[in-house]
Amino acid sequence: MKLDCKHIWRELSNYLDGEIAEEVRREVEAHVAQCKHCAALLDSTHNVLVLVADERRMELPPGFNARLRERLERELATSQPD
């Protein structure tokens, strides 16, 4: 079975996660090899996800860890896990 562009879009996320049947994976790769739109879609989605993960790793308000630690310490000193 040959996959058209719409099928590729539907499988894109599963493909990136490797959650895809071997046969479908081969179909996706064959399609992407000759369709530059789908190739660009796949690459750019992958790149954006890498960027997002990277960007968000830096995103904590200043002092967050210290405030959390302080609050936890009060709790850990005075109470017990149920």
Partner 1 sequence: MGGCVPAMVEELTAKKEREYRLIDRVLSGHHEDFHELIAAYRRGVYLAAYDILQIAADAEEVAQEAFLKAFRGLRGFRRESQFATWLFRIAVNEARMKLRRRREVPLESVFPDDEEGDYTPTMLADWREIPSDALLREETRRFVREAIAALPERYREIITLRDVNGLNIAETAEILGISTGNTKVRLLRARLLLRDLFVERTNRKGKAQSQRGATP
Can residue 29 be called a binding residue for partner 1 (CB under 8 A)?
Answer: no
Does 47 participate in binding partner 1 (rule CB under 8 A)? Answer: yes
Our finding on whether 55 is near partner 1 (CB under 8 A) is yes
DSSP character for 20? S
Which residues here bind partner 1, judged by CB under 8 A?
6, 9-10, 12-14, 16-17, 19, 37, 39-41, 43-45, 47-53, 55-57, 59-61, 64-65, 67-69, 71-72, 75-77, 79, 81-82
